[in-house]
């Protein structure tokens, strides 16, 4: 019995010594602790969730190289392969996921009509790095599932609908002319630069009754609320370029952006199906002013765009073709004011 008791104690000691503690803290890009993140070792049942301070700690019987995984909705998964003995006091920094919002909305009814249920969130950098979009948010959105590529038009065709059935909103105010006008068989562009927007939410599925005039989809463009730093942006393309700047003083900030496009060099290098007399040329500028209130925000947005081109279009009845020229100037502006009155009421208005 003494021998058996001694062996039992030795077995328990060895078992307890084999347990390794995995611990650390999960924070986001702003050094804010992330509550409720899942942290576990891949291929095992060992893991836990983070507390209010973003900290976690659990035991594992693994003794060799393991894969530590941390995940949370709205962030990219964190994966680290390391020796389990080196995973004590790990700092995990999440990066915001910019590709899609995987939200689940439950409604008391038979119809799910949430804005985020089938929405794609796109950052400005995603737009300007999308091949073939040429810095145009409309061109980048045409690469998403649910849209129809129409090279002869260029507008957003979603789920079989026409371009007019997709409604565009800037800071919750509808934009009636979001596309630059062109003639037939020439793709159009969007009027607005992506750099002044914090994010672009594009719904290819259901959307709420707030956007009842939309028949196919809703495109929400929200300007940046509070810029975190003063910066200058430069955009260089083979057919043009752009520049932007943000200034901050106290509770006020201003962001401006200007761009220029000329397709003349492109038309000289690449044979065209259309005979351009004057190549497509456009210049645009935008500005956003923000004033942060104690419990709200005031924003003023304005944009101006000018485009010019002329073309000889083929016609079966006219041998020399039909001359068509177009010069267009467009100004858009909106004012947005929102104020939180208390925990249950919020006032928001726009013009």
Query: For residue 91, what pLDDT is reported?
Result: 92
Alpha helices in 178-243 (DSSP H): none
- Residue whose entry in the numeric block shows the structure tokens 């599932």: 145
- Number of C-beta neighbours around residue 299 at 10 A: 22
Per-block mean pLDDT, blocks of 10 residues, the chain (351 long): 60 57 91 91 90 91 89 89 90 78 49 46 75 74 72 69 76 83 77 77 67 71 82 86 91 92 88 85 92 90 92 85 90 91 86 91
Sheet holding 346-350, edge to edge: 231-237, 240-249, 252-262, 275-292, 296-315, 318-340, 346-350
pLDDT of residue 319: 84
- Residue 5 phi/psi, 5-degree rounding, is -65, -40
Other beta carbons less than 10 A from residue 222's beta carbon: 16
Residue 298 pLDDT: 93
pTM for this structure?
A: 0.57
Q: Where are the alpha helices (H) located in the chain, listed in sequence order?
A: 2-17, 124-128, 137-141, 264-269
CATH architecture of 2-93: Sandwich (2.60)
SS (H, E, C) 281-310: EEEEEEEEEEEECCCEEEEEEEEEEEEEEE
Strand partners, 123: none
Token code pair at residue 149: 């590529």
Q: CB of 198 within 8 A of CB of 171?
A: no
User: What are the structure tokens assigned to 176, written together?
Assistant: 């009636």
Q: CA 30: distance to chain centroid?
A: 18
For the chain, what are the domain ranges? Answer: 2-93, 119-350
User: Among 28, 44, 178, which residue's Cα sits nearest to residue 97?
Assistant: 28
Block residue for tokens 């939410």: 201
Three-state SS across 231-253? EEEEEEECCEEEEEEEEEECCEE
Compute CA 276 distance to the chain's CA centroid, rounded to the nearest angstrom: 36
Identify the bridge partners of residue 252 per DSSP, sorted by sequence position.
249, 291
pLDDT at 325 (0 to 100)? 92
CB contact at 8 A, 79 and 61: no
Rounded CA separation 226/177 (Å): 27
CA distance 135 to 36: 37
User: Would you say how long the chain is, in residues?
Assistant: 351
How many C-beta neighbours within 10 Å does residue 301 have?
A: 24
pLDDT of residue 116: 45
């Amino acid at each position: 019995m003494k021998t058996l008791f001694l062996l039992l104690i030795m077995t328990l000691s060895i078992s307890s010594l084999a347990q390794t503690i995995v611990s650390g803290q999960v924070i986001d890009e702003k050094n804010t602790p992330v509550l409720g993140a899942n942290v576990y070792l891949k291929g095992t049942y060992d893991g836990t969730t983070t507390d209010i301070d973003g900290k976690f700690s659990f035991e594992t019987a693994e003794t060799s190289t393991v894969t530590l995984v941390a995940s949370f909705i709205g962030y990219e998964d964190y994966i680290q392969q390391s020796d389990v003995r080196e995973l004590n006091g790990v700092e995990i920094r999440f990066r915001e996921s910019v590709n899609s919002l995987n939200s689940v909305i439950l409604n008391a009814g038979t119809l799910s009509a949430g804005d985020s249920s089938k929405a794609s969130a796109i950052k400005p950098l995603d737009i300007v790095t999308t091949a073939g979009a040429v810095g145009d948010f409309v061109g980048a959105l045409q690469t998403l599932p649910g849209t129809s590529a129409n090279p002869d038009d260029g507008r957003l065709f979603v789920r079989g609908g026409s371009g007019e059935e997709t409604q565009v909103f800037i800071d919750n105010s509808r934009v009636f002319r979001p596309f630059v006008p062109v003639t037939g068989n020439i793709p159009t562009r969007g009027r607005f630069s992506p750099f002044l927007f914090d994010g672009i939410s594009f719904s290819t599925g259901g959307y709420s009754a707030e956007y009842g005039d939309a028949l196919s989809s809703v495109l929400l463009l929200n300007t940046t609320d509070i810029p975190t730093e003063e910066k200058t942006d430069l955009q260089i393309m083979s057919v043009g370029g752009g520049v932007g700047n943000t200034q901050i003083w106290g509770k006020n900030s201003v962001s401006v952006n200007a761009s220029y496009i000329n397709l003349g060099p492109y038309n000289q290098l690449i044979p065209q199906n259309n005979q351009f007399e004057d190549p497509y040329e456009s210049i645009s500028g935008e500005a956003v002013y923000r004033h942060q209130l104690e419990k709200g925000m005031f924003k003023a947005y304005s944009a101006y765009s000018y485009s010019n081109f002329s073309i000889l279009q083929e016609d079966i009845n006219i041998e020399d073709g039909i001359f068509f020229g177009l010069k267009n100037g467009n100004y858009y502006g909106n004012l947005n004011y929102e104020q939180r009155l208390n925990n249950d009421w919020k006032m928001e208005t726009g013009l």
